[in-house]
Amino acid sequence: MGLTIAEKIIKSHLVSGEMVKGTEIGLKIDQTLTQDATGTMAYLEFESMGVKRVKTEKSVAYIDHNTLQSGFENADDHLYIQSVAKKHGIYFSRPGNGICHQVHLERFGKPGKTLIGSDSHTPTGGSLGMLSFGAGGLDVAAALCGGAYYITMPKMYKVNLTGKLSPYVTAKDVSLEILRILSVKGGVGAIIEWGGEGIKTLSVPERATITNMGTELGATTSIFPSDEITREFLKKQGREEDYTPLSSDPDAVYDRVIDINLSELEPLIACPHSPDNIKKVSEIEGTKVDQVCIGSCTNSSLYDMLKVAAILKGKTIDTSVSLSISPGSKQVLSMLADCGAVSDMIETGARVLECACGPCIGMGFSPSSGGVSLRTFNRNFEGRSGTADGKVYLVSPETAAAAALFGVITDPRKLGEMPEIKMPESFKINDSSVIPPASEEEAEKLEVRRGPNIKEFPKSIPQTDSLAAPLVLKVGDNITTDHIMPAGAKILPYRSNIPYLSTFCFGVCDKNFPERAKAAGKSIIVGGINYGQGSSREHAALVPLYLGVRAVIAKSFARIHAANLINAGILPLTFKNEADYDKLSEGDNLVLDNVFEGMNSGEIILTDETTGEKIPLTCSFTERQKGILKAGSLLAYAKENSENE
């Protein structure tokens, strides 16, 4: 039996377990990336592991999230990350150099390699034929120390593309179409491989849009073959030597195959407040638009920006619309400036922002009260924009540009003939904003700089065989990490200050939760389907840990968040019968008995002492995960094992 692309990379990187679906495997990691919203905590965790020099082939620390320096906090964190990177063998991408996924694609990604990043959109690297995973900071720290990255061996899905995209129909529309088909939870437990004759019509930047948005499916990751299109991209980046051909075997077996005819697609739009709330743009034309944002790690490549500049050239945006444009990297911005495209954008009335995540994570450019914002981003969760009642729609750059010009949602095909975009023969290479690490000899003399905003890592609390605690919060389906631990300009600067950060936990759902949880001492949370979807931010586990949360019971969990809960020592449990969710009420006193025996058998009985109900819960932990939970955290578990060796 042949192998898929992902199976080939897994086989060559397997360090523990067997390639049996549903079982735990450990993978050797070649590369890591971090960004500054998660990086400070990841490097604090790495330092606590006591390893002097990273053991990966290439690790890069990016500054792209917390670039708004309205106080000392972000600047201090950046200095900490830069100094720890210099000392321990990590490359440092300075503020302004660009968004981690875009820059990594341009300068560091290699076909056939493994990559984990403390950002959920790390699967963007799959556009180059990398096996790339979003992960929590603790998992990244472990990989930096040479440890394996553990996942459940996934199912394999194949998406066969045929035909060719029509003018004004884009890779973003392909992403929205697969979200329409599968939903935000339809990719859970699967790696999605893209193939078929249609992929030959898609450039690497277009493929990157698709693998980036695969995160919103809940997929483990997404991947394209490494082919001549990959070679051409790497050649233009001056990195042809990094090319390795990679494809699936003709007799590879997939758990599900989905066919999409590119020729039949039309412009699509994700309506508030979920990436899978898909409609045709033509169905909601005429909706008034207040704001348009173009950029983010999904759609900020040179190709995307040149298309936008060509559409806008010689025109003026509608007087009622505010338009921001964020190029994805210094390379993109510099090349746009050289060819005059930046001027074309500015002349229309657009505001060009720095090469960073910016509005995507609520870091500035929030919409007006109740305002409609069309964004080329990957998420439109409620409140994520920084405006609680903002209505965010996800669209392609072409649809965004059309809305900016007309002031209403408009099918971009009404713009007339699509301007021809000619890509350059080579990209402008200037890596001056990537600072290499010091040599091992120099590193011995270097000090790591820590600002006053950097606080201690929350203390580990080992799981006990019996847990009695109140149900302090009950939430519904598709609770995101933005619900649990919001981002935004007011909160992100405190990502290294868990005590202060805790005051915002679940603020979107219940502003009184932090106070109630702290008063309880220890507590339990109940959630619905797909609990913890979205970002890889481990703060959505670390902050509840700090507030005393000892277990989360849900109908189902998002992959990364479940792993982060375990790494933090919080018990993730699932209802055996989803209908039992309705039997529990906030404020009930709950008891979990014989936890250790239940962790082995896969079933734990929950007793609701308030109502007398006995509810069966399920769990599936590996021996390693049981050890982590009993120790109280991955850090404590790693320390115990190192001392016993």
Q: Tell me the average pLDDT of the chain.
A: 95
Residue 644 has pLDDT above 80, yes or no: no
What is the 3-state secondary structure of 53-77? CCCCCEEEEECCCCCCCCCHHHHHH
Q: Which pLDDT score, from 0 to 100, does residue 643 have?
A: 54
User: What's the topology of domain 268-415?
Assistant: Aconitase; domain 3 (3.30.499)
- What are the boundaries of each domain within the chain? 5-264, 268-415, 467-488+495-644
Stronger pLDDT, 453 or 599, i.e. the higher one: 599
Average pLDDT over residues 485-512: 89
Half-sphere exposure of 441 (CA within 13 A, CB side): 0
Residue whose token pair is 């990157």: 208
Instruction: Decide: residue 285, CB within 10 A, 0-12 exposed, 13-18 middle, 19+ buried.
Output: middle
CA pseudo-torsion sign 272, 278, 281, 286? negative
Q: Does domain 5-264 have CATH number 3.30.499.10?
A: yes
Cis before 273? omega within 30 = yes
Predicted confidence band at 639 (pLDDT cuts at 50, 70, 90)?
confident
Q: Which pLDDT score, from 0 to 100, does residue 508 have?
A: 87
**8 Å CB contact between 193 and 248:** yes
What is the 3-state secondary structure of 174-208? HHHHHHHHHCCCCCECEEEEEECHHHHHCCHHHHH
Alpha carbons 153 and 161: distance in angstroms, whole number: 25
Alpha carbons 494 and 225: distance in angstroms, whole number: 40
Predicted confidence band at 535 (pLDDT cuts at 50, 70, 90)?
confident
What does residue 99 show for φ and ψ, rounded to 5 degrees? -75, 135
CA pseudo-torsion sign 486, 491, 496, 501? negative
CA 20 vs CA 158, 257, 426: distances in Å: 18, 20, 43
Same fold, 5-264 and 268-415: yes
Share of the chain above pLDDT 90, in %: 89
Q: Which amino acid is at 298?
A: T
Greatest alpha-carbon pair distance for the chain in Å reads 71
Quick: pLDDT tens for 317-352.
999 999 999 999 999 999 999 999 999 999 999 999
Residue 252 has pLDDT above 90, yes or no: yes
Q: Which pLDDT score, from 0 to 100, does residue 642 have?
A: 60
Alpha carbons 75 and 54: distance in angstroms, whole number: 24
Region of poorest pLDDT, from 138-142, 469-473, 492-496:
492-496
267: CB partners within 8 A, 6+ apart: 168, 169, 170, 173, 280, 281, 282, 395, 396, 398, 399, 411, 412, 413
Residue 645 has pLDDT above 60, yes or no: no
Residue 358 has pLDDT above 80, yes or no: yes
Quick: pLDDT tens for 77-115.
999 999 999 999 999 999 999 999 999 999 999 999 999
Start-end of H helices in 294-452: 302-312, 330-339, 341-347, 397-406, 440-443
Alpha carbons 309 and 342: distance in angstroms, whole number: 7
Q: Which pLDDT score, from 0 to 100, does residue 641 have?
A: 74
Alpha carbons 337 and 327: distance in angstroms, whole number: 11
Task: State the first-to-last Cα distance of the chain, in angstroms, to the nearest integer.
Answer: 40
Q: Which pLDDT score, from 0 to 100, does residue 564 have?
A: 95
Q: Which pLDDT score, from 0 to 100, does residue 96 have?
A: 95
User: What's the topology of domain 467-488+495-644?
Assistant: Aconitase; domain 4 (3.20.19)
39: CB partners within 8 A, 6+ apart: 61, 62, 81, 118, 137
Alpha carbons 466 and 588: distance in angstroms, whole number: 17
CB atoms within 10 A of CB 461: 17
Q: Which pLDDT score, from 0 to 100, does residue 269 have?
A: 98
Question: Hey, what are 92's tokens?
Answer: 């440092």
Share of the chain above pLDDT 70, in %: 99
